Amino acid sequence: MGYLREDIHNLVEKQRSFFNTGITLDVKYRIEQLKKLKKMLKDNQDKIIEALHTDLGRSPMESYLVDIGDTIMEIDEYIKGVKKWNKPEKHFSGLACFPSIRTHVYKIPYGVTLIISPFNFPVMLSIGVVAASIAGGNTALIKCSSKSAATTSVLKELVSKTFNEEYLTVIDGGHDVADFCLEERVDKIFYTGSPKVAKHVMELASKNLTPVALELGGETGNWCIVRKDANLKDAARKIAFFKILNSGQICININQVAVASEVADEFIKELKLAITKQIGEKAYLNEEYPKMITERAWQTIVDEATQYKDRIIFGGEGDKATCKYSPTIIYPVDINEPIVQYEIFGPLLPVVKFDDDKVNDLLDVIASREHGLALYIFTKNKKWAKKVMRTQQYGGGCVNEVCLHIMVKGVPFNGVGHSGMGAYHGKWGFNEFTHPSTVLYGKTKMNLSLREHPYTNKKKKMMSKFLK
């Protein structure tokens, strides 16, 4: 039976009542719940892996690597750090506040949080965010994707067995149910998905002035730049791995590669070899190769590839019955063609040539478009690479590597502009799900009267000297 608007409202009210008891404010309670969350994942790995295979065709190793194992590591970080992060910050108020020189900053939970997760990493991008919400001392409604139905069903079952619904609950259903959730007066929304839907999320959130965190894909694509001095074999190997992973359905995946014209042919050769070595020339026939999430998503990739069929130099094959489509290299592609100006979210890889001595012109074009969630650079020129990574606008990225920046603990994962707002992972996730409240502790003796009327010339002179 599907959810009605009234059902969602009642769940929100139950969670609000539970939050108002103050139970979640206790850090020991939060740590206990995080440990239960971790145990839930560890004890049910096989069931979750099976569901991920049903939804995305993933191999057990890939499912553990990118969804389950990484989420467990994330939970461990919250268990280890939340006690320290939750301590009030102590500040000197400054002489201007004398004699009330003691100020504290408290980390206050928002209350009832709404987490809307996507299909592509249905465990990491739901339970991983839930862990941040728990660490912050909140309750959570988790609206999981209807596209990854098997995993959503398993998560709903496991969460309901592990936690009371007034604390954590998984909600399934389509866009109508998501809207029921968004129409409620929750206290914090965390949405992962597309920029288009994010605008809708923000529109509904604005009606209740609900604070929102967004983790989105790069609307005009995440760029990878391969310069002429790069280790081409190494670059090709890593790019191939990343494009194979989850069949390209990754928000931080490489959307298009810009390769120096001086080494373009050699790079293409290495890329073909790397894909073939890792997954086979006909990847869609490989049992370990993931599938597109739905037949509709598969058909979208087919239609996009068909538009560039005269420039497909590798791949370009698939099977509708299994919803698998091989990693496909499209070359050459002009930097102003449509396929490099939107997020593909699949195994197609357009390759753009540029003259290496005009790499700054390439960067200007990239900067003129919407900011990506990721940026990847392959080069031996560390000085240039550092300059680029310090001056471009993007969420996060790597130099001479791909995707591993999201595995680093203690650092934020975030987007900017059309690729998102806010940040999480570790302490940054705790901060995202709490709001800092500044409290000054006043003194009742030795209070100066300089701030009080009447403002005599003597007071003005004294205040001027004091502030200086």
Tell me the catalytic residues: 215, 251
How many other C-beta atoms are found inside a 10 Å radius of the C-beta of residue 410?
10
Tokens of 111: 């209350």
What is the spatial distance between Cα 7 and Cα 420, in angstroms, rounded to a whole number?
A: 30
What is the spatial distance between Cα 121 and Cα 182, in angstroms, rounded to a whole number?
A: 22
Burial class for 55, CB neighbours closer than 10 Å (0-12, 13-18, 19+): buried
Q: What stretches of 163-254 show up as alpha helix (H) in DSSP?
A: 175-183, 195-206, 232-244
What is the spatial distance between Cα 93 and Cα 101, in angstroms, rounded to a whole number?
A: 4
Buried-exposed string 348-360: b where 16+ CB fall within 10 A, e elsewhere: bbbbbbbebeebe
Strands of 7-138, DSSP E: 89-92, 102-109, 112-116
Helices and strands (DSSP H and E) totals, the chain: 16, 20
Of 202, 180, 200, nearest in space to 189 by CA: 202
How many other C-beta atoms are found inside a 10 Å radius of the C-beta of residue 57?
20
Q: Name the residue type at position 220.
A: T
Q: Which helix (H) or strand (E) holds 189?
A: strand 188-193
How many other C-beta atoms are found inside a 10 Å radius of the C-beta of residue 390?
7
Strands of 35-181, DSSP E: 89-92, 102-109, 112-116, 139-143, 168-171
